[in-house]
Amino acid sequence: MEIKKQKVVTTIVKEEGRPFRVLQLTDIHIGGGILCFRKDRWALEAVEKVVKAADPDLIVMTGDMVYPLFWATGARNNKRPAKKLATLLQSLGKPWCFVFGNHDGEVFATYTKEQLGEYFKSFDGCLYEKGEEGITGCGNYCIRIENKDGSPAMLLMMVDSNAYITKSFFSGFDVIHDDQIDWYKRTVREQSEEGKVAPSLAFFHIPPKEFKEAWEKCYRGDKSVTYHHGFVLEKDNYFGYPKQKKSNFFKEMVDFGSCKGMFMGHDHVNTLSLTYQGIRLTYGMSIDYLAYIGIKKKHTQRGGTIIEINDDGSFDVKMLPLSDIK
């Protein structure tokens, strides 16, 4: 497998004759403090087991890798847990990348997202890029999965779904901004062959409102939605989408026609995957042992999500529960 790294766009040339395998990990929540030592160890052990079982060509983490909340962990230093996670990933020898979640760079954490991103980049195998200057967010970049003949099999679009409207959790979750949407479209066009738009998959943290809309239609029997796998186990069918701010991202992606799938985290016990308006919407299986009260005893949501990409741009998605790994 050949990797050609450039600013904002990194190209990986896939092996001919077999699918390119992406492993999505999400909401790992390494705390790095004295209050969560055992839970951090469990989470890191789970990551190692899932990566070895999946044997991916690329690992993509969709946010909340670390959890610098002092009252839960005893620490505000988000670089310490980042080092534990990055050291493990480096030792596993697989290329890896990520987008940020709302917790990675909390306002009271020691390091900003920008600083944390640069620190992660110092580890072998990390394909993260900060992205273009002047675009909202930190970590908008593209990984081009290329066939041997030079055609794009798939563009993996890493998009920062941001955190909060202000710096406070109580202001509500932010959205993917219009300038990020413009960047997405422009990048896809630049990476497409003449006369056709390359297919893409979007990876980000906070789900769009339309995911819940699709689920509500699905359980009422609406045939416009295709159910694939997973559950909604958050209380009262909760989806943690932005409620105080309108997002144009899903509609723009439907109209644009490139985006075939969206992969996210944020809601730790939701594992739902369905197709709505031509886009596969998938909650990745989470790792978290820390951030939800009692979650260490739950298991049906814990694991990884495998995305296999074929030469023609088609792809398959399946769950890899931790409980299935011997």
Report, as an integer, the average pLDDT of 284-293.
95
Report, as an integer, the average pLDDT of 180-201.
95
Give the range of the structural domain holding residue 218, as residue numbers without chain letter.
Answer: 2-324
Enumerate the H helices of the chain as residue ranges.
37-54, 70-73, 79-92, 113-121, 178-191, 209-219, 249-256
For residue 280, report the phi and psi dihedrals to the nearest 5 degrees.
-80, 120
Q: What is the pLDDT of residue 169?
A: 76
pLDDT at 170 over 80: no
- pLDDT tens-digit readout, 15-65: 988 999 999 999 999 999 999 999 999 999 999 999 999 999 999 999 999
**Tally of CB atoms within 10 A around 20:** 24
Q: What is the pLDDT of residue 17?
A: 87
Q: Please tell me the total count of domains within the chain.
A: 1
- Whichever domain contains 246, its CATH number is 3.60.21.10
pLDDT at 6 over 90: no
- pLDDT tens-digit readout, 200-257: 999 999 999 999 999 999 999 999 999 999 999 999 999 999 998 999 999 999 999 9
The C-alpha angle with vertex 246 and arms to 243 and 250, in degrees rounded to 5, equals 105
Strands across the sheet containing 2-5: 2-5, 9-13, 141-146, 152-158, 200-203, 259-264, 279-283, 273-276, 225-229
pLDDT at 171 over 90: no
DSSP three-state, residue 275: strand
Tokens of 294: 């009692």
Q: Of 276, 122, 268, nearest to 205 (Cα)?
A: 268
Return the percentage of the chain with pLDDT > 90, whole number: 90
Q: What is the mean pLDDT of the chain?
A: 95
